[in-house]
């Protein structure tokens, strides 16, 4: 209610100020014809002014603000892959039945274009994985994720992540897998249906991981070539990853 009263007061003040200045103009020059000519001209320009200020300039400022936020988000995403994502990408791919196909589509190199990233992104976004969960050391995976639990929860508390739905989905998929593993007192001799359930959780997380990793790699190629160089040398979708420059 207080804000509404302020709005009414401001409206009345500006209308009164405008009427006052028009009145002074009339008292000095005594020419209402001139007043209405300029008034009509001002009203004629008003829609164009609204378009320039409200639509064009605001859109430019909003776009710049969004780009600045995305740069900051990509710093967070980079930290996530350094801390958690890269380990999961390289460790789990060994247990997928179609790991050869995955590696073939996601084996990025320095010559990749926007079109190459787009094609690989379409593959990763619709990735169909078949994990051999009986070969995975679930206790070791549980230990790794539990050690990163506080880090993941801290990321989820970041309000800026609301601007990045896909990365938020990745965090949820990762924390859900952590919760599923933590909820079981033992991960040995689990029923077959329970193993299938865990396999689906792992596949879901890996799908999000691969897709988000590609987006991040494309961002680095466009903006930070020196960081992209390290990704090229160490990513797990090549035959012999190594940080050493040959």
Asked if residue 112 is part of any domain, the answer here is: yes
Q: How far is CA 132 from the centre of its chain?
A: 30
What's the structural domain count of the chain?
Answer: 1
Which of 128-137, 193-202, 210-219 has the least mean pLDDT?
128-137
175 pLDDT exceeds 70?
yes
Residues in CB range of 79: below 8 A, 6 or more apart: none
End-to-end Cα, the chain, rounded Å: 70
Torsion of CA 63, 68, 73, 79, to 10 degrees: 150
Indicate if the alpha-carbon torsion angle 41, 43, 46, 48 is positive or negative.
negative
78 pLDDT exceeds 70?
yes
Q: What is the pLDDT of residues 79-121, one digit of tens each?
A: 999 999 999 999 999 999 888 899 999 999 999 999 999 999 8
Grade residue 32 by pLDDT with cuts at 50, 70 and 90: confident
Q: What is the pLDDT of residues 147-168, one digit of tens each?
A: 999 999 888 888 777 667 888 8
What is the domain extent for residue 100? Answer: 84-234
Asked if residue 94 is part of any domain, the answer here is: yes
Asked if residue 245 is part of any domain, the answer here is: no
145 pLDDT exceeds 90?
yes
- Two structure tokens written together for 62: 């909003």
pTM of the model: 0.73
Alpha helices in 81-148 (DSSP H): 86-92, 99-106, 114-125, 138-147
Asked if residue 88 is part of any domain, the answer here is: yes
- Of 214, 209, 207, nearest to 116 (Cα)? 214
56 pLDDT exceeds 70?
no
Rounded to 5 degrees, φ, ψ at 131 are -90, 135
Three-class SS state of 131: strand
The residue whose two tokens read 């792992």 is 202
Asked if residue 134 is part of any domain, the answer here is: yes
Alpha carbon distance 4, 106 (integer Å): 57
Asked if residue 5 is part of any domain, the answer here is: no
- Two structure tokens written together for 190: 């689990």
Count of helix runs (H) and strand runs (E) in the chain: 11, 0
Asked if residue 146 is part of any domain, the answer here is: yes
Alpha carbon distance 210, 213 (integer Å): 5
Asked if residue 71 is part of any domain, the answer here is: no
Cβ-defined contacts of 3-8 (< 8 Å, 24+)? none
């Amino acid at each position: 209610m207080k804000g509404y009263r302020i709005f009414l007061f401001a409206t009345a003040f500006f209308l009164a100020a405008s009427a006052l200045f028009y009145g002074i103009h009339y008292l000095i020059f005594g020419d209402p014809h001139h007043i209405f000519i300029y008034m009509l001209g001002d009203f004629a320009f008003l829609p164009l002014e609204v378009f320039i200020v409200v639509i064009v300039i605001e859109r430019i400022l909003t776009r710049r603000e969004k780009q600045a936020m995305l740069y900051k988000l990509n710093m967070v995403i980079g930290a996530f892959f350094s801390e958690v994502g890269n380990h999961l990408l390289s460790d789990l791919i060994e247990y997928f039945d179609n790991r050869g196909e995955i590696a073939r589509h996601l084996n990025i190199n320095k010559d990749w274009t926007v079109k190459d990233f787009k094609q690989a992104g379409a593959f990763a976004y619709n990735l169909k994985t078949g994990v051999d969960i009986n070969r995975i050391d679930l206790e070791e995976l549980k230990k790794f994720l539990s050690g990163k639990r506080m880090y993941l929860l801290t990321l989820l508390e970041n309000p800026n992540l609301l601007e990045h739905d896909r990365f938020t989905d990745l965090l949820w998929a990762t924390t859900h897998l952590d919760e599923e593993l933590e909820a079981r007192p033992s991960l040995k001799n689990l029923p077959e249906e329970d193993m299938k359930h865990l396999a689906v959780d792992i596949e879901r997380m890996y799908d999000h991981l691969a897709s988000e990793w590609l987006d991040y790699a494309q961002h680095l190629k466009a903006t930070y070539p020196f960081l992209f160089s390290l990704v090229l040398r160490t990513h797990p979708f090549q035959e012999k990853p190594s940080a050493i420059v040959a």
